[in-house]
Amino acid sequence: MKKFSIWMFLPLAFSVFTVAGLWIIYVIGIENNKIIPLNSKYMISESKYPPFISLAGNNPPASCVFSQVMNVSAFAAFVIGVFRYIQVKPKIIKPWINISSLTAFSLFCIGVSLLGNFQLDGDEEVHNFGTGMAFGFGTYLCWIQTLITFQINLRSEGKILGFTRLTLSAAITFLMVIYYIFLNLNAIMHAARVQWSMIMLLITFLGTFAWDFRYHRFELQCTDTQEAMLCSPLPVEMSEQQV
C-alpha cells in the first residue's frame, strides 16, 4: 500500500484556504452592501462597488479578513516555492531556471502580501503595485514551473502533469489579456468575472504541487558544533518515501 507524504497536503490546504477565504470576503461584501453580485448583468447601483476582489475586501470587516487571508496565503505559497526549489535542485540541468522560479515565487508572495495589507482606500499606489507583482510574477512562475515539469520528468509523470500545467498557464495568460481588454473597454462586470476566474486558476495551479510532493519528505536538521555548541540550520534534505 502506498504511503503518501504529509507535505502533499500543504498545496491542497493552501488552495482550499485561499479559495474559501476569498469567497468569504465576497459574501461579506455582498451582505454589507459594498459590492454588487457577480451575476448582475450591469452596474445597477452607483452606491456599490463592482465585484472585483480588491473592492470586495476594501472596507471593514471584509478588509480585516482579506489581509489575514492574503498574509497566510503568501506565507504558504512561499514555503511551497522553497520546497519546490529544493525538490528539483538535484535533477534540473540548468540551475538558473530553478533560481528564476524561486525568485518569481518570492516576488509573487510579496505582491500578494502588499495587496492584502494596503487596501485601495488606504494606499492605492502600493495596492496596485502589489497587484501587478502578484499577477505578473504569478503568471511567470506558472510558465517556468511548466517548463521545469517537462524537463525533470519526475517519476515519469512529466508529460501528464506538464500538459495539465501548460493548459492552466495558457488559460491564466489568456484571461489576463482579456481582463485588461475589458478594463480598457470599460466592461466592468465582465472584467470582474474574468479576474475571479483567473485567480481561481492560479490558485489551482499552485495546488497541483500536491502531486509532486506526495512521495517526498522534507527534513530540517539541527546539529551542534563542538566549538561553539550552537544550533546551525542545515539545508533541507529530500528523500523519497518507500512505496
Query: Tens digits of per-residue pLDDT, 186-226?
Result: 999 999 999 999 999 999 999 999 999 988 777 766 666 65
216-219 and 222-224 strand pairing: unpaired
Give the model confidence (pLDDT) of 100-137 as tens digits: 999 999 999 999 999 999 998 888 999 999 999 999 99
* Alpha-carbon torsion angle 205, 8, 105, 74, nearest 10: 90
- What was the pLDDT predicted at 220? 67
Q: How does the average pLDDT of the chain come out, rounded?
A: 87
- Predicted model pTM: 0.87
- Per-residue pLDDT band for 14 (boundaries 50, 70, 90) equals very high
- What was the pLDDT predicted at 222? 64
- What was the pLDDT predicted at 227? 52
Q: Which amino acid is at 47?
A: S
- What was the pLDDT predicted at 224? 64
Mean pLDDT across 64-74: 96
Mean pLDDT across 73-94: 93
- Determine the Cα–Cα distance for residues 135 and 11; give it in Å rounded to an integer: 19
Is pLDDT of 145 > 50?
Answer: yes
231-233 and 222-224 strand pairing: antiparallel
- What was the pLDDT predicted at 243? 33
